[in-house]
């Protein structure tokens, strides 16, 4: 996984990759929340940070 925000390239492919990476992280967070491994507050903080990292709009947990 690329550790930088590739959406700065402003290409559709870079944005798509960022969206896919964010979606994978989002669904993993939801799973951890459902299993009560993480609290809702921690999940929300992580969700915001990941969305900002990838430069995408965030989904609500």
pLDDT by residue for the chain (61 residues), tens digit each?
Answer: 555 555 567 899 999 999 999 999 999 999 999 999 999 999 999 999 999 999 999 999 8
How many CB atoms are located within 10 Å of the residue 24 CB?
A: 12
Give the separation between CA 18 and CA 36, rounded to whole angstroms.
27
Let me know the angle formed at the C-alpha of 12 by 59 and 49, rounded to the nearest 5 degrees.
Answer: 35
Alpha-helix runs per DSSP H in 1-61: 12-34, 40-54
pLDDT of 15: 94
Which pLDDT value is given to residue 61?
Answer: 84
pLDDT (0 to 100) of residue 10: 80
């Amino acid at each position: 996984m690329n550790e930088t925000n590739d959406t700065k390239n402003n290409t559709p492919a870079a944005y798509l990759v960022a969206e896919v990476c964010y979606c994978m992280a989002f669904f993993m967070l939801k799973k951890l929340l459902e299993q009560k491994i993480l609290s809702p507050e921690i999940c929300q903080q992580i969700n915001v940070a990941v969305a900002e990292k990838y430069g995408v709009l965030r989904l609500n947990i």
